[in-house]
Structure 1
Amino acid sequence: MANSPFQQRALGALVGVAIGDAMGMPTQTLTREEIARQYGAIASFRDAGPDQPVSAGLPAGTITDDTEQSILVAHHLIARSGHIDQLAWAQELLTWERDTHTRGVNDLLGPSTKRAIEALQRGVSASEAGRFGTTNGAAMRIVPVAIATPATPLGALVDAVEESCRLTHNTSEAIGSASAVAAAVSRGIEGGSLEEILDAALNAAALGEQRGEPSKGGSIRNRIAAALALAAGRSGTLSAIEIAVEIGTSVSALQSIPMAFAILRLTDADPWSAALTSAVIGDDTDTIGAIACGMAGASSGIAAIPPEAWALVQRVNGLDLEPIVSGLLRLRAARVEEGA
């Protein structure tokens, strides 16, 4: 499939999610100090330690909920002509969580998603169920929406993002942050420069944060801009850690998404560097890595990801992402044709 730069960048985006996710798997939820003590310098995928709170004992290269839910979104979109059926989506998330239990994995639905689905089961409408979702769950699984949707018109892209957020993350910070990531990925697939990608992301964040339940924590667009300013002219892991101390790396969308954008700039959109950097900054390393590496993969393409690294992740998880990306690109082509 990956025979044109456009297709290579689309594949690079979804593969980037898996690479960044797998790199952060053994370090997720740990502090920076714990990561340094348990793993030292991280130069490639590592096995999770026996005391890892979420992924104890998992082998190097194992993906987590970030990639698995992204694939779930992709299959849902392909089966439904690019749209989200809220009730069916809720059931698919519940089925996914049950499956993780049978596999002995402790990746559960995030707090926002869990709360929303429980509300939906009580009879609350989909738009109301997600009104407290302020975490990064929507942004972590948004890459398939971005692959399936052109970067312009921007309003149509944000509409697609909002539809994917409605059930679990119907808040301004969640929609704004997911819109920023989606715009960065979609513009990257189209061949935009890093500055064009970042401009698209900021514009999408500003539009997206006008949707959903108003934020009580401030503007996600401004937080992303501040993170990018901190990263401007800098590079390296030490810079990332210093910025992480200032921004935060928790599951909050107001922390983790700006941090992912900072890493995108610090690494000049190199997906492998983004994955390695994200893995050592502490706390939600797998999600920040999945987002940062997904955006970088969209910008730089699959060729920028070491083939031996991707081969390992494919083998460990049994992944075959090319047909999924092909299906998403067919949706994108249909949307382009509709807008012509």
Structure 2
Amino acid sequence: MRDHILGTLYGMALGDAMGMPSELLSRARIREIFGRIETFEDSPPENPAAIGLKKGEFTDDTAQALVILDSLMEHDYVPDKGIIAHNLLRWAVQTEAFEKNILGQSSKAALHAVAHGEDPEPYTVTAVTNGAAMRIAPIGCLFPCDDLEGLAAYVFRISEATHKTDVALGGAGMVAAAVSAALDGRSWEGIMDAAMDCYAMAARYGAQTYSASPKARLALALELARRHRADTEAFSLSVYEGIGTTTLMNEAVPTALAMAYYFKEPHACSLACANLGGDTDTIGAMAVAVCGAKAGAAVMDPALIAVLEQSNDVDFGRYADSLLAHRGRVHC
């Protein structure tokens, strides 16, 4: 189990770092700059979000996930909205995330309100972007897949500091449930079923929106995966054009889960996400976390892991040990 938890963490960082240089670039522009991304790359000067990052460095997706884990470890794994918001804000200030345009739209608005002593709820109850899902994968490690109701409640408590809508919470629940099912050894069909089952469980905690359902879009994306099972380029293009790769929750989450379902192997999935176009680092972080949870760290390329460890000052093993120690033992 520890190996698969570690695979989740490494997978999240791998997909994030591989997709970092192409973040928020179009599919065509990625080809013009890189030809095809085949390994870790520095961020190009025109990247609108990951300015100045070097090859192998992950972005705010993994950074925020680790801030949330630190917040949980600080409070015996009982989620506390105030602690999470305070620690996210401290990280944002330390990394100059506001000035560097690192934060997503919803998180930026909510944390800006917290920083100025204002109520963030007007922003959290309208948040439909993917910030809650991009950082949730490790939370799936805490729950066995037969407790999706408990996982959904926990996802809400983790996410409400910045995201509190049905679509944001439902999408985050889908990613966490996919990781949970992968750790439990479910088949890829079973992993997708768990993700779709968890959508309504998590969405009911949020404010109602008129957003398209990530669950419904995942069903469409899985049909595309089956239709193009022998043509990876056709599948990627069909997802890019038909499901979407923006920062909206109802595009990024179904696309990420479909990419994991289609490519399965962590390295292959990370490269496919990096070349996909759009919110490549976030889609990669979510997708490859699921692949890593299913595959385990032992089968991941040690050279890629070495680059991640050299480029980021993080002890992933310490987080894996903590998650393992609390798996099945957490509560809200």
TM-score (norm 2): 0.93
Which of 37, 44, 58 aligns to 1:42? It is 37
Gaps of at least 5 residues in structure 1 are: 1-5
Quote the residue 2:244 is aligned against: 248
Tell me if 1:175 matches 2:169: yes
SS across alignment from 1:207 = helix
Quote the residue 1:232 is aligned against: 226
Separation (CA, whole Å) in 1 of partners of 2:113 and 2:50 = 28
Separation (CA, whole Å) in 2 of partners of 1:59 and 1:53 = 15
Shift of 1:211: 2.3
Aligned residue identity for 1:27: S
Provide runs of 4+ in structure 1 moved above 6 Å.
none
Separation (CA, whole Å) in 1 of partners of 2:86 and 2:286 = 25
Q: Deviations over 1:216-257 (max 9, x none)?
A: 113221112111121125252342122211111000001010
Q: Across the two proteins, how many residue pairs are aligned to each other?
A: 329
Quote the residue 1:88 is aligned against: 83
Separation (CA, whole Å) in 1 of partners of 2:72 and 2:120 = 18
Q: Please tell me whether the aligned partners of residues 66 and 287 of structure 1 are also in contact (alpha carbons under 8 angstroms).
A: yes
Quote the residue 1:302 is aligned against: 297
Quote the residue 1:3 is aligned against: none
Shift of 1:319: 2.1
Quote the residue 2:196 is aligned against: 202
Shift of 1:16: 0.4
Quote the residue 2:319 is aligned against: 324
CA 1:50 to 1:121, structure 2 compared with 1: closer, same or farther past 3 Å?
closer
Which of 173, 178, 186 aligns to 1:192? It is 186
Shift of 1:190: 1.6
Aligned residue identity for 1:108: I
Separation (CA, whole Å) in 2 of partners of 1:280 and 1:331 = 36
Q: Which moved more, 1:31-40 or 1:122-131?
A: 122-131
Shift of 1:75: 1.1
Quote the residue 2:8 is aligned against: 13
Q: Which moved more, 1:50-59 or 1:20-29?
A: 50-59
Gaps of at least 5 residues in structure 2 are: none
Q: Please tell me whether the aligned partners of residues 12 and 286 of structure 2 are also in contact (alpha carbons under 8 angstroms).
A: yes
Shift of 1:37: 0.2
Shift of 1:112: 0.8
Quote the residue 1:277 is aligned against: 272
Shift of 1:73: 0.9
Separation (CA, whole Å) in 1 of partners of 2:123 and 2:49 = 26
Q: Please tell me whether the aligned partners of residues 5 and 323 of structure 2 are also in contact (alpha carbons under 8 angstroms).
A: no
**Matched residues, percent identical?**
35
CA 1:159 to 1:124, structure 2 compared with 1: closer, same or farther past 3 Å?
farther
SS across alignment from 1:138 = helix
Separation (CA, whole Å) in 1 of partners of 2:112 and 2:129 = 17
Q: Which moved more, 1:17-26 or 1:106-115?
A: 106-115
Shift of 1:177: 0.6
Q: Please tell me whether the aligned partners of residues 80 and 158 of structure 2 are also in contact (alpha carbons under 8 angstroms).
A: no
Q: Which moved more, 1:38-47 or 1:112-121?
A: 112-121
Separation (CA, whole Å) in 2 of partners of 1:71 and 1:304 = 23
Which of 108, 115, 122 aligns to 2:109? It is 115
SS across alignment from 2:246 = coil
Structure 1 residues 125-164: aligned runs within 5 Å: 129-164=123-158
Which of 210, 213, 220 aligns to 2:214? It is 220
Separation (CA, whole Å) in 2 of partners of 1:55 and 1:222 = 31
Cα RMSD of the aligned pairs, angstroms, is 2.0
Aligned residue identity for 2:226: A
